[in-house]
Structure formats: C-alpha cells, structure tokens
C-alpha cells in the first residue's frame, strides 16, 4: 500500500502549466528559475501588492497578499488582492503585460475555488488587472473554467509524482519563455530526433 501523501500543488503552477507543461515541470519539479524581462517587469509591478498593505478603496476593503489553500483540491498559494464588500468576495490577479491565452484566468479561478472553501462563500467572478493596457478584465468563474482548473491540478500532481519532463513544444511560446536558456527547446528536440533515429536504426538492424 502506498501511504505517501499527495503532493500539494501551488496555485502559481497552474499558470505555468497552462503556458507550457514543460515549464511547469522545470520550475516545480526541478527547481529551475531564471528571470527575464517579463518576470523582472512582473516583480516590479507587484511591489505594491507584495507589500501586504490592506486599504479601503471605493467603498471596498482590499486585502493584499492573502494566503490561500484548498484541502479538497490539495492547493496552496496566495492571492494578489481580495476585494471584500458586504455581499461579495472578489479575487484580483495583477499581470504586468497584456491579455493573452487563458493561463491568468485559470490561476484566478484556482484562487476563487480556494476562497470558496476557506470562507464558505460563492465566488462567481474575479478580475485580472493588466498593466499593459492598464485595465482590468472580468473573469466569469464558469463551470467549464472550474473543470479545466481541476483537470490541470490533477495533471500537475501526476507530473510532481512521476517527475516526468514533457517534450519541448519548441514553438512561439519559447521565444518569450524565461526558461529558454535552460530548456534549450531547439537542441533538446533535435537530440530527441537523433535518439529516435538511432533507435530506429538499431531496431531495424536487429530484425
């Protein structure tokens, strides 16, 4: 019988996995981290959020750098901000760039699932604030988005348990990826093709 506890998945891993499963494995299994212009700009943009200073804004209480967890999902992380009004709890995620893909929405939805379990409330929506256009985008916590988050959590947990490093997709994502100097997607893909070629030759000779 395997009594090993299931690994906890970090909320931030969901965004990494949605961007590229190999990036997620490199960061969360292998502990690789390299800053590039995007991560440095993100850290700079986050300095107010990271301060943890709570404020009153437009009639709402805004709590910053709030710890989050879900025992049901085995999740742990932090919300950049949570806006509290008398009848609503709204997570807000801050991104320094522009909207692209669904990674930020998935990360925000994971935060909503944590808040719902922690506080026993319903969290039907949240916001992602983008520093590029300087506007915030509403995210509907739909059933489809929630299911997608749960699926990704399960896949990350399998990745953490197996330690498997996915194949590099070597596509447009790699150009902007902070881990490109470590991952070397072009080289690893080429060596994989050579390995496959050699194996095919050996098997062909055996038969």
Instruction: Compare residues 38 and 54 and give the one whose CB is closer to ligand SF4.
Output: 38
Over the window 22 to 61, marking each residue x when it contacts ligand SF4 by CB under 6 A and - when it does not, the resulting string is xx--x-----------------------------------
156 interacts with ligand SF4 by CB under 6 A: no
Q: Please spell the DSSP secondary structure of 186-202, one letter per residue.
A: HHHHHHHHHHHHHHHHH
Contact between 113 and ligand SF4 by CB under 6 A: the answer reads no
Q: Is residue 145 within the footprint of ligand SF4 (CB under 6 A)?
A: no
Stretch that binds ligand SF4, among 16-24, 44-52, 68-76, 124-132 (CB under 6 A): 16-24
Q: How far is the CB of 158 from ligand SF4 (least distance, A)?
A: 18
Residues 6+ apart with CB under 8 A from 165: 22, 25, 26, 29, 30
Nearest to 82 by CA among 53, 61, 106, 110: 61
Residue the block writes with tokens 């700079």: 44
As measured in angstroms, the least distance from the Cβ of 130 to ligand SF4 is: 21
Question: Which string of b and e fits 167-205 if b means at least 16 CB within 10 Å?
Answer: ebebeebbeebbbbeebebeeeeeeeeeeeeeeeeeeee
Summarize as ranges the residues that interact with ligand SF4 (CB under 6 A).
20, 22-23, 26, 168-169, 173-174, 177, 179-180, 183, 185
């Amino acid at each position: 019988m395997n009594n090993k506890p299931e690994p906890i998945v970090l909320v931030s891993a969901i965004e990494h996995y949605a961007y590229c499963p190999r990036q997620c494995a490199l960061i969360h299994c292998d502990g690789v981290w390299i800053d590039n212009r995007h991560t440095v700009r993100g850290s700079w943009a986050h300095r107010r959020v990271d301060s943890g200073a709570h404020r009153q804004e437009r009639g709402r209480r805004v709590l910053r750098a709030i710890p989050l967890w879900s025992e049901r999902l085995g999740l742990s992380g932090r919300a950049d901000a949570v806006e509290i009004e008398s009848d609503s709890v709204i997570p807000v995620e801050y991104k320094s760039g522009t909207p692209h893909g669904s990674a930020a929405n998935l990360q925000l939805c994971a935060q909503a699932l944590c808040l719902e379990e922690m506080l026993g409330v319903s969290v039907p929506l949240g916001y992602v604030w983008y520093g590029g256009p300087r506007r915030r985008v509403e995210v509907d916590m739909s059933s489809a988005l929630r299911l997608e988050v749960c699926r990704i959590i399960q896949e990350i947990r399998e990745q953490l348990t197996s330690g498997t490093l996915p194949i590099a997709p070597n596509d447009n994502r790699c150009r902007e990826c902070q881990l490109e100097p470590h991952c070397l997607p072009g080289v690893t893909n080429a060596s994989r093709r050579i390995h496959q070629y050699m194996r095919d030759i050996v098997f062909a000779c055996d038969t």
